[in-house]
Structure 1
Amino acid sequence: MTGHYEKNLAVLRNRDAEMASHVDRLHDDPLIEVVETKEGAPVPSMLLGEKKNFLHSRFDPEKEAERFMGEINTADHDLYIVMGFAFGYHVESLLKRISRDVIVLIIEKNGSLFRKALEQRDLAGVLGDSRVMILLDPPEDVIADRLKGKASKNVSFITHRGSHQVYSGYYGTVLEICRSYLSTKEVNIATLAKFEKLWSSNIARNIQYYADNRGVQSLYGKLQGIPAIVVAAGPSLMESLDFIERNRDRAVIICVDTAYRILLKRNIVPHFCIAVDPQVINARYFEGVPLTDTVLVADPMVHPSVFHLFRGRSMTTGLVFDMMKWIERICGDKGEMTHGGSVSTNAFDLARRLGCSPVYLTGQDLAFTGGLAHARGSYLDEQIHLRTSRVNNSLMFNRYQLTALPPVYVKGIRSEKVRTNQKMMIFLAWFQKRKDEALVNATCDGAFMTGIRHVSCHDINLEKRDIPVSSVIDGLMASIRESMKDAATVRKRLIDRINAMLRDLDTLIPHLEKAVGFSGKLIDLLSQAGQDQGKLDYILRKLSEIDRTIETKKEVKDMISLTSQRAIHTISEGYDIDASDAGLSSEVLVARRSRFLYSGLYEAGLFNRKILMKMRTMLGEEAS
């Protein structure tokens, strides 16, 4: 061991004491050897089988690193994710080329190799650099935690060639994990921007239904041990219809709203249909549908037309957002549901909460099987045909779906490989992470789910039941109806709470308006050459007073937060507000973010006042 180790370890301990202790406990890896170049630079090699693999050039690793980094665009990136540290020559070259406000996340598979680097090289400059974060063979949740709050608009992935040739499978998987997390984050922020106000608006318009109706929790655990078939609307669904029809009395059939019409056309009446999307187009899945024995399970954030158009029994799930839990505390627990970004993930979660096992997935292609986005005959497929013309035919609509996001090719169930995209990869990853032995993928084709049992639906034979599943569900629904809370009392308690919150909002909104003005003045002061410290202190004191006032109004603060999530996430995840952020001092940037946040909260305060008044109107019509 050279004299570098203690110095490097001391610097590392300063930055990350836990990692330093972990590294200090590691032993030598017998597969690692170190040779020196003519100039004395240490170069590691790894023995794989009988082949010795050098992780850097054994002649001139520094020159190799400069050449490697010269091939990479190191301008205009906020975050670099480096796969492989080895002896860090490439990392040193990268740090010389990038600006001081950039983050470099380095993931190294072999902790013993990292320790050897600390023994052989003076890496104090790298280890002490505030831009650098190093993870040693981290689990997925640690990677996600380190990426949280890091700007990812301009991210660059760098795979160190020497490390990749030794651990190609590992670094390939880590790359997918990072991409999946960052894609999910982008999708979440885009979703918040699109739906944050729609969610609250729908809850307000559904409040009477939510107060009066049954919660699906009353069925949880009541269908223990009965198999379930989850029906999604992927292109291969048509091949599974015989299997679903054959087993309607032997398994609980849970379909997503998109697939509902397809089943009805085959005279298959599912036991449950689940709806979670807030958009009005999803309500049209039930347009013109006759009276049914199907039980609708709806998220309270669905479009109100869902409840008007669906002709049958219905239940609601709980409120997913903590900011709206005050409603549930009054109405009673309706039933928690795990969300994975797609209605089919909700359908699977419902099956498991009901107690069903095993759960067979059908139509869960998560891919453009046969060049199609949805199963033939789904509502979305019908809309494509209604909107076709000589110029825009159905093939062109499917082509648009295929090209809306860059293609990703993955292993297929029946096909050698299938085309999907990053959005569907998020849902694929959700199922793969379940590690649930009850989950069986019986989808006929589409993306193969790694770690999940795949069985052809044609090979599944379910046992005949003494009592048909539909009769069991009918009995449960009848008993639930008799034990429901007094609706009038619940509505009265909701109205009282809404009135109290409106009074709090009327107090809070003027404070938020003042905060927007104060933060604007703060930007002006910080942008001046000669800053008036007295004025700065006064503004900061006033903003602190407003913050304390906001904190005292917990329920309205939480409700406002729901409809200002885009602003909150923009700040917390490190995104630029707009292009004018570039080149500003850190103090001015903080002030700009402060104004952006207060503006979002102020607008949300005004919006939520309307929402609460809408709730009161919806409840008051029945309560009067």
Structure 2
Amino acid sequence: MSEYFERNLQVIQQRWPALAERLLLEDVGGLQADLVEGLGSTLSINSIQLTSRHDRLAEAGLQAASLPQDATVVHVYGTGLGDLQSHLLERTGLERLSVHILNGAVFALVLQLLDQSPWLADPRVVLLYAGDLAEIQLPFFALPAELVLADDYNAKIRDRLISEIHLDFTNQAFDPQSPEIVERLQSTFSLVQEDCDVAELFGTLKGGEAFVIATGPSLERHFEKLHHLSKQAERPLLICVDTAYRPLIDHGIAPDIVVSIDQRISVRHLPPESTDNIALVYLPMADPSVIRVWRGARYAGYSSSPVYREMREQLRRAELHVGGSVIHPAVDLAVKMGAAQVTLFGADFAFPHDKTHAGWGDGDLGPQLGASRHWVLDGYSRRVKTQLNFRSYLCELERFIAGHPQVRFFNSSRDGAMIVGTDFHPEYVQ
């Protein structure tokens, strides 16, 4: 035990004894640590530099400057080498600095190598593991290196942080003044005008059960059971997302409702044949050529997006929750219809079994398996490949579930991402 570690640990034991015990159990030996030198020096963990190797203090100053100067409470995610914490504590108006550990082993190693006691001893500091809280706290700064190095326990919070950081960039694709968006809404205006309000479906399934079917690879394991169930007179309502429709039809499973929101979905995904008894729920950004040839009942709705502001003023339609993926309005529809129980199929948010989607080839729906550079934990607490936007979609679904405690949510598979707020369905989870 180094002199630095004894000094640092003594402060932590005095202030946060339970956390100190956790830090003593961290596997520091599993890390590859190297000193990296430039104009200055820093520590590299598993080939990821914790800070600048040229001027750590200047970097910390830039990071601190991104936070509101008048904030009395600030949250820092990741511990780094303590530079940002020390810089923020120079603010006289700061009343509390919460430091959220993103990788316990990394922090334990830094405690061995550098004196962190000055900022740890400051009475304004609160120290905790990021994963101890279910949601991110604002305002925050997340140290970039530790967003990469985040361990399994803190991975859910890492995903929420990255989703929040990318929010402005993501929203740039939905500029209400975009010529493509204006043109699309003009082309679907008459369809929305003639079709039913999705609100007509609300409350029609009071206390019932709904299956919401997405296109994750785990869906393939349920085709046989879903086919058998779909032929029964008394069964849950089957709501599927647009990309799941063709795989279901190919296996003789006719859903009750298809939900579509994406302008890139075509008749290739939603062929109109045999749709006479299937309802289509869509948002006005959907392809008008798909909507027009649909033979079953059609219901239009909006999301809260600003792209629908002008149309909303002219045509009143109910809203469905959208968090980036069609899975969100599909689940929200089930809840607003009155479902007391919702079971998710193919809601993997990942690429289990080295596949991207059920019923589609690699890259048919956009992402290719070889391009996946990220991971989430599956229902076995193992890391499974995914892509960045899938993790954001997962975060939004978990937030939605947390906001609807009156509904019981089930997941039908352990193979995809672990979805906080769901239980594993005893009949469908193998």
Give the Cα separation in 2 of the matches to 1:453 and 1:356: 16
Give the Cα separation in 2 of the matches to 1:414 and 1:319: 34
Q: CA deviation at 1:372?
A: 1.1
Matched, 1:210 2:180: no
Q: CA deviation at 1:46?
A: 1.6
Structure 1 residues 157 and 438, CA gap change in structure 2 (3 angstroms): same
Q: CA deviation at 1:331?
A: 2.8
Q: CA deviation at 1:453?
A: 0.6
Opposite residue 343 of structure 2, the aligned amino acid is: Y
Matched, 1:228 2:228: no
Matched, 1:448 2:415: no
Structure with the larger helix share = 1
Give the Cα separation in 2 of the matches to 1:368 and 1:107: 35
Give the Cα separation in 1 of the matches to 2:6 and 2:251: 73
Matched, 1:253 2:238: yes
Corresponding residue for residue 348 of structure 2: 365
Corresponding residue for residue 99 of structure 2: 108
Identify which of 270, 281, 289 aligns with 1:286: 270
Matched, 1:156 2:149: no
Give the Cα separation in 2 of the matches to 1:400 and 1:175: 22
Matched, 1:344 2:338: no
Q: CA deviation at 1:286?
A: 2.4
Q: CA deviation at 1:314?
A: 0.8
Opposite residue 11 of structure 2, the aligned amino acid is: P
CA deviation map 1:197-252 (0-9, x unaligned):
43322111111111122101012112101110111111121211233233333111
Structure 1 residues 140 and 198, CA gap change in structure 2 (3 angstroms): farther
Identify which of 71, 74, 90 aligns with 2:83: 90
The answer for unaligned runs of 5 or more in structure 1 is 1-33, 55-65, 96-104, 120-126, 128-133, 385-393, 461-624
Give the Cα separation in 1 of the matches to 2:5 and 2:380: 49
Q: Displaced runs of 4+ in structure 1, greater than 4 A?
A: 34-37, 47-54, 66-71, 74-78, 92-95, 113-116, 134-142, 144-147, 168-174, 193-196, 396-400
Corresponding residue for residue 606 of structure 1: none
Q: Secondary structure at the match of 2:196?
A: coil
CA deviation map 1:287-306 (0-9, x unaligned):
35234200000101111111
Q: CA deviation at 1:439?
A: 1.1
Q: Secondary structure at the match of 1:418?
A: strand
Q: Secondary structure at the match of 2:189?
A: helix
Q: Does the 8 Å CA contact 1:243/1:457 hold for their aligned counterparts?
A: no
Matched, 1:295 2:289: no
Deviating more after overlay: 261-270 vs 223-232 = 261-270
Q: CA deviation at 1:428?
A: 1.7
CA deviation map 1:408-458 (0-9, x unaligned):
1x3323684421122111122222222244211113621122342111544
Alignment of 1:186-197 (within 5 A): 186-189=169-172, 191-192=173-174, 196-197=178-179
Q: Report how many aligned residue pairs link the two structures.
A: 356
Q: Secondary structure at the match of 1:207?
A: helix
Corresponding residue for residue 384 of structure 2: 418
Corresponding residue for residue 198 of structure 1: 180
Q: Secondary structure at the match of 1:318?
A: coil
Q: Does the 8 Å CA contact 1:342/1:427 hold for their aligned counterparts?
A: yes
Q: CA deviation at 1:90?
A: 3.5
Identify which of 123, 137, 141 aligns with 1:143: 137
Give the Cα separation in 1 of the matches to 2:415 and 2:152: 25
The answer for unaligned runs of 5 or more in structure 2 is 25-39, 65-74, 89-95, 102-116
Q: CA RMSD in A?
A: 4.4
Identify which of 230, 250, 256 aligns with 1:265: 250
Identify which of 406, 409, 417 aligns with 2:373: 406
Give the Cα separation in 2 of the matches to 1:187 and 1:106: 29
Corresponding residue for residue 337 of structure 2: 354
Structure 1 residues 349 and 214, CA gap change in structure 2 (3 angstroms): same
Identify which of 387, 394, 397 aligns with 1:428: 394
Structure 1 residues 208 and 169, CA gap change in structure 2 (3 angstroms): closer
Structure with the larger strand share = 2
Matched, 1:117 2:121: yes
Give the Cα separation in 1 of the matches to 2:5 and 2:215: 58
Alignment of 1:376-525 (within 5 A): 376=359, 381=360, 384=361, 401-408=368-375, 410-413=376-379, 416-433=382-399, 434-435=401-402, 436=405, 437-443=407-413, 445-458=415-428
Give the Cα separation in 1 of the matches to 2:382 and 2:119: 42
Opposite residue 255 of structure 2, the aligned amino acid is: P
Structure 1 residues 456 and 431, CA gap change in structure 2 (3 angstroms): farther
Identify which of 273, 284, 299 aligns with 1:315: 299
TM-score (norm 1): 0.48
Opposite residue 340 of structure 2, the aligned amino acid is: S
Alignment of 1:21-170 (within 5 A): 44-46=11-13, 48=17, 68=42, 72-73=51-52, 79=63, 82-83=76-77, 90-91=83-84, 107-108=98-99, 117-118=121-122, 143-146=137-140, 156-157=144-145
Q: State the identity %.
A: 22
Q: Does the 8 Å CA contact 1:284/1:306 hold for their aligned counterparts?
A: no
Structure 1 residues 174 and 230, CA gap change in structure 2 (3 angstroms): closer
Q: Does the 8 Å CA contact 2:218/2:346 hold for their aligned counterparts?
A: yes
Q: CA deviation at 1:117?
A: 2.9
Q: CA deviation at 1:272?
A: 0.5
Q: Does the 8 Å CA contact 1:276/1:343 hold for their aligned counterparts?
A: yes
Larger Rg: 1
Q: Secondary structure at the match of 1:230?
A: strand
Q: CA deviation at 1:118?
A: 3.5
TM-score (norm 2): 0.68
Q: CA deviation at 1:349?
A: 0.7
Structure 1 residues 360 and 399, CA gap change in structure 2 (3 angstroms): closer
Structure 1 residues 182 and 89, CA gap change in structure 2 (3 angstroms): closer
Opposite residue 420 of structure 2, the aligned amino acid is: T
Q: Does the 8 Å CA contact 1:415/1:445 hold for their aligned counterparts?
A: no
CA deviation map 1:553-585 (0-9, x unaligned):
xxxxxxxxxxxxxxxxxxxxxxxxxxxxxxxxx
Q: CA deviation at 1:170?
A: 7.4
Q: CA deviation at 1:184?
A: 4.3
Q: CA deviation at 1:89?
A: 5.5
